[in-house]
Amino acid sequence: MTEENEPAGGQTHAAQQRQRASQLAQAIRTELHKAVVGQAAVIDDVLTALIAGGHVLLEGVPGLGKTLLVRALARCFGGEFARIQFTPDLMPSDVTGHAVYDLQTEQFKLRKGPVFTNLLLADEINRAPAKTQAALLEAMQERQVTLEGRALPIAQPFMVLATQNPIEQEGTYPLPEAELDRFMLKVRMDYPDADQEVNMVRQVSRSTRADMLDVQPLRTVLQAKDVQALQRIASELPMDDQVLDYAVRLARTTRSWPGLTLGAGPRASIALVRCARARALLRGGEFVVPDDIKGCALAVLRHRVRLAPELDIEGLSVDQVLGQLLDQVPAPRL
């Protein structure tokens, strides 16, 4: 049923729900800004993925506050939080869990791993070899883990926030394409600008905790059920067919765009639509506009396409090529 032919009462109730959900999302954003200085676009992207029910890959050099952002989000969220520090010797069972023999009962017992949580921080995910990285695949896609032949569901909501260092750094393993595709967004965290860095140094040097900001003063703004309500309300936001078509056209254009040897699959089209709805809710909009699609396109597409080697040699980045694509694919005028 579209909003146009809904009864007035139902329409008003839906609008009130949207307004409350938007206020709640903006309250989380405000809390996160208390802990993370600057990085407004990164915070918005992480909240977009939370509302859209997706996973995030955060990339940046060490010391930019990637882990701090995830810890701050966990502090604002009343659900369960777990952290895995990925290292070269981490085993898949350290992520998913394993069977342990109980001497008293003479039976095997399943010991669940840290993946059974609401918010999972996979810290420096590309420090571990592919076999261990792959242990997250089933959990991210199916929201379950198979242990000893039994499929065990993971509680909802479930979100993986993985941090990785740039691939050029020592001791990193590139993530396989199948796993990259499971991340709804790949968010790049860059150095703060001069004013933000001055503010950050001022705040941190006042902090009692050496070289890091404290997340303890942050309020718990939402519970697990609130996140699920936000996700449901966002998924019901009205979207014109032209806007939906624009999202699909963007993803399809990457498959034939000069300079890209690998285009984005249908999962990218779905991610664009889901993220656009989440962004619309976050800004307090009543429906999705083309700018919501455009605003999340880089984060949705950059890890799903591959740059041609000759452009790489010329020094062009994936973001620059995708920027050209976004400028040239016409957006609908609503």
CATH fold match for the domains 1-236 and 237-334: no
Per-residue burial over 215-238, b if 16 or more Cβ lie within 10 Å, else e, is: beebeebbebebbebbbebbeebe
Which is nearest to 122 in space by CA: 45, 183, 79?
Answer: 183
Helices (H), 134-240: 137-142, 177-180, 194-206, 224-235
CB-based contact 25:47 (threshold 8 Å): yes
What value, to the nearest 5°, has the Cα angle with vertex 294 and ends 274 and 22?
Answer: 50
- Residue 148: the pLDDT is 79
Give CA 229 to chain center in angstroms: 18
Phi, psi of 84 (to 5 degrees): -120, 125
Other Cβ atoms closer than 10 A to 9: 8
Residue 192: predicted pLDDT: 72
Q: What's the confidence (pLDDT) of residue 136?
A: 87
User: Which phi and psi (to 5°) does residue 199 adopt?
Assistant: -60, -45
Q: pTM score, two decimals? A: 0.87
Residue 169 has what pLDDT? 61
Assess contact for 260 and 316: CB atoms under 8 A: no
Please tell me the predicted confidence (pLDDT) of residue 150: 84
Fold observed for domain 237-334:
Helicase, Ruva Protein; domain 3 (1.10.8)
Where exactly are the structural domains of the chain?
Answer: 1-236, 237-334
Joined tokens for residue 79: 């659900």
Amino acid at 64: L
Amino acid (1-letter code) at residue 44: D
Segment 228-251, tens digit of pLDDT: 999 999 999 999 999 999 999 999
Q: Coil, strand or helix: which one is 127?
A: helix
Angle CA(278)–CA(36)–CA(301) in degrees, nearest 5?
A: 40
The residue ranges of the chain whose pLDDT is under 70 are 1-11, 167-171, 203-214
pLDDT at 168: 59
Question: Residue 289: what residue type?
Answer: V
The three state secondary structure string of 64-113 is CCHHHHHHHHHHHECCCEEEEECCCCCCHHHHHEEEEEECCCCEEEEEEC
Position 231 scores a pLDDT of: 94
Please tell me the distance from the alpha carbon of residue 310 to that of residue 9, in angstroms, as a whole number: 59
Q: Does domain 1-236 have CATH number 3.90.79.10?
A: no
pLDDT in tens, 40-90: 899 999 999 999 999 999 988 777 778 888 888 888 888 888 999 999 999
